[in-house]
A and B are shown apart, each in its own frame.
Chain A
Amino acid sequence: MENKELFLGNQAVARGLYEAGVTVISSYPGTPSTEITEFAAQNDEIYCEWAPNEKVAVEVAAGAAISGARAFSAMKHVGLNVAADPLYTASYTGVNGGLMIAVADDPGMHSSQNEQDSRHHAIASKTPMLEPADSQECKDYAKIAYELSEQFDTPVLLRLTTRVSHSRSLVTLEPRQDVALRDFEKNPQKYVMMPAMAIKRHAFVEQRMQQLADYAENCALNRVEYNTGAKIGVITAGICYQYAKEALGERASYLKLGMVNPLPVALIRNFAEQFEQVYVIEELDGIIENHCKAHGVQVIGKELFGYLGEYNQEIVREKILGEHVPFVQTDLDIPARPPVLCAGCPHRGLFYTLKRLKVRVSGDIGCYTLGALAPLSAIDTCICMGASVSALHGMNKARGDDFAAQSVAVIGDSTFVHSGITGIINTAYNKGVSTVIVLDNSITGMTGHQQNPTTGYTIKNDPTVAVDLEALAKAVGFQSVRVVDPYDLDETYKVIKEEVAKKEPSLVISRRPCVLMKYVKHRPPLTVQTDKCKSCKACMQIGCPAISMRDGKAQIDFTQCVGCDVCTQLCKFDAIVRE
């Protein structure tokens, strides 16, 4: 049998990096991009690291590429906003060894706070962008990206979407290419971007984009699939190509664009001319569509499909062919099942306490954002990583000391290092009085448990230095620093109450590892003694998914309970016991 494996799209990108001879990777996790770096880290030939944030990651990768290695960085769509600064100027310096940056968009927002389209960054930063449609293409395009990067002297973006990143399909494996480290010559005209040099490099960038546009007209990445007799023409890219093929099959012909920036003109025009009706099928923004229209090619796109969410074959079938597949449906009223903090999650006790204290909570991004949902309902705002700390400072400045005495920021350990540290520096420096709570569960939970600079381990699980949060806070001017165990509800309540009352900046570290960590020993599950249970539902205030009401009494699901003992502190009748 051929050397085929059933790989996730992300795993296939990692394989592409391996085969392309990449030697340096620096990334920050973010769904749906995370597994690329995790899989790549399994290869001893590649140096891999988790950076504190995407800006650092892209700078590390750009430095490695300029110094002569093939380098890589991965992130989710919003991560590229953070890394936009180095990207836009790395576009001017160009590379030495190849540089690819993978950016994963999340149409439908399976796990994101917005639905932005990263193709805009490719256009604005004037870098080429490739978009694969399955795992094999993930691997192939990753390899092509390094050739393009070195040939055209540019960083290359690889755009993924959730369904490509997180679908498995068959991939043919090839051996690793040995790529020698290139010489790193001193060349300030190319690598020192200050006005005199950057002016010339900008001219180079414009020229490069023109050459890439010419390349786009004839390259194998952009291909036409004709079906005889088809009256419909479809221009598409990435996962939408798969949806279109599934829905329309041989009833349409396809122009599948593997390179989504820059876009070809003649190729599109020649294709479109042959059909009565041409559709552009692309999720999120109408970038291909607008390009077509700007060049006088009449197409139908967003007016039919819209800007929201994911597409699928059902939508394409319905919109273009007007066909429906019959299905069965019950008239049951089915309650939603939103995600919840795990049973025994250390964040739960903390949010329960904040709810009791009736404080306003400036929130941030991570598992703990789930503290915004009922019954905890403890979070007031959530914007982007790091914003909890800085936005609280803004609120306190706007609303004054009385507000500050009843408000806190909550931020996870990984998020704190990502962009909370600059926030606390701002607070202390500008005489803020915020109470900042670091939810230190010793891991990057939401994205699937990655190490970070506070955990004491590298991506390869080698022990390393850990950020000393207490010392760090003191060093920037937070003199009041306290540590609490969020499983201890009374103590947590007391400490936070004291800290919010203080007219100075204070940091509370709510410290307890995530229950999903392998080293965390679970205690035996608890049970409710039904004769003692008075059906008061006090234990249900914490929203533990293991506790439900059955026949009027509380009941604990033994398959979920990890014995954290938080619910026992709420039961006034000692009905919750360990058997």
Chain B
Amino acid sequence: MKDLNVMIVGVGGQGTLLASRLLGCAVMLEGMDVKVSEVHGMSQRGGSVVTYVKAGKQISSPIINKGEADIILAFEQLEAARWLPYLKRDGVLIVNTQQIDPMPVITGVAKYPTGVLQTIRDCGVNVVAMDALAAAMQAGSSKVTNVVLLGAMAQHTDIAYDIFETAVRQTVPQKFVDMNLAALRLGYDAAKAC
């Protein structure tokens, strides 16, 4: 498998950390070197959050800079646009169509831009968009939106699907495993259709 740089971006509280942990676990199961860089603390309170997962023969820096990500997994549209410069020219943007207003929009000092996804597509970016929240509700809870998106991402890596399933089984608490596996599958199938 070749080197893989994935950025997972979203809003604090959306479960990006678990997604990065699951992906890190999957990569480790593949027997590659891996680094995962997380955010804890202040920005987890509803701020813009980003985690990096890097896999390859030998990883030095745990973070990803502009133009270096093979995949950006965006949990929210505005965050997709914010972090877009980090995507490689031929990279894939997988994005949840959900919109969450940031506080400056709520207070009225800023506007949530319109046509975000179309603007990104117009730049020639390969965009895979889906309503992951609806799929998560179908799987049983809005809380598994993160795993739906991870499932979608599984379509775009060389890592076998069942490795992701193993990662879920190893990481998620027992009583939530079935719901998470269902969410993973829904995301995986949805991305195939895209």
Contacts and interface: CB of A to CB of B under 8 A. Distances in A.
A337 to B, nearest CB: 4
Contact of B109 (A31, A332, A374): A374
Interface stretch (A199-207, A227-235, A238-246, A469-477): A238-246
Contacts of B11: 337
Contacts of A327: 66-67, 85-87, 89
Interface stretch (B99-107, B151-159, B180-188): B99-107
B106 A547 contact: yes
Interface string B106-136: 1111111100100110011100000001000
Contact of A31 (B37, B42, B85): B42
Contact of B105 (A239, A246, A335, A446): A335
A6 to B, nearest CB: 5
Interface string B63-75: 1011110000000
Contact of A545 (B31, B44, B106, B119): B106
B79 interface: yes
B60 A342 contact: no
B179 interface: no
A332 B119 contact: yes
Interface in A331-367: 331-342, 367
A155 B31 CA distance: 38
B84 A328 contact: yes
Interface string A2-24: 00101010000000000000000
Contacts of A110: 39, 41-43
Nearest to A537: B108
Contacts of A545: 46, 100-101, 103, 106
Contacts of A167: 35-38, 62
A372 to B, nearest CB: 12
Contacts of B110: 333, 335-336
Nearest to A249: B60
Interface residues of A, number: 62
A130 to B, nearest CB: 19
B47 interface: yes
Nearest to A547: B106
A309 interface: no
A275 B140 CA distance: 62
Interface in A529-552: 537, 540, 543, 545, 547-549
A242 B41 contact: no
B176 to A, nearest CB: 14
Contacts of B19: none
A335 B37 contact: no
Given A110-B39, A166-B39, A169-B34, A329 B85 contact: yes
Contact of B47 (A239, A339, A540): A339
A524 interface: no
Given A166-B37, A545-B103, A334 B47 contact: no
A170 interface: yes
B106 A334 contact: no
Interface in A427-484: 446-448
Interface residues of B, number: 64
Contact of B12 (A170, A329, A339): A339
A163 interface: yes
Nearest to B85: A327
Given A332-B119, A337-B47, A6 B41 contact: no
Contacts of A333: 110-111, 113
A497 to B, nearest CB: 26
A374 B45 contact: no
A111 B103 contact: no
B107 A543 contact: yes
B113 A332 contact: yes
Contacts of A558: 142
A314 interface: yes
Residue among A334, A337, A370, A374 with the highest chain B CB neighbour number at 10 A = A337
A380 interface: no
B45 A367 contact: yes
Interface string B139-164: 00010000000000000000000000
A386 interface: no
A579 to B, nearest CB: 16
B59 interface: yes
A111 B65 contact: no
B2 interface: no
Contacts of A559: 133, 142
Interface in A18-47: 31-32, 34-35
A126 B60 CA distance: 31
29 contacts: A31-B40, A31-B42, A134-B62, A163-B62, A168-B34, A242-B61, A243-B60, A245-B61, A246-B60, A314-B66, A325-B66, A325-B67, A327-B89, A328-B84, A328-B89, A333-B113, A334-B82, A335-B105, A337-B79, A337-B103, A338-B103, A339-B42, A370-B45, A446-B41, A447-B41, A540-B106, A545-B46, A548-B106, A559-B142
Interface of A: 1, 4, 6, 8, 31-32, 34-35, 110-111, 134, 163, 166-170, 239, 242-243, 245-246, 312-314, 325-342, 367, 370, 373-375, 446-448, 537, 540, 543, 545, 547-549, 557-560
Closest 10 CB pairs of A and B: A111-B41, A31-B41, A335-B110, A339-B47, A325-B67, A314-B65, A327-B67, A337-B102, A167-B62, A246-B61
Interface of B: 11-13, 21, 24-25, 28, 31, 33-48, 59-63, 65-68, 78-79, 81-82, 84-87, 89, 100-113, 116, 119-120, 123-125, 133, 142
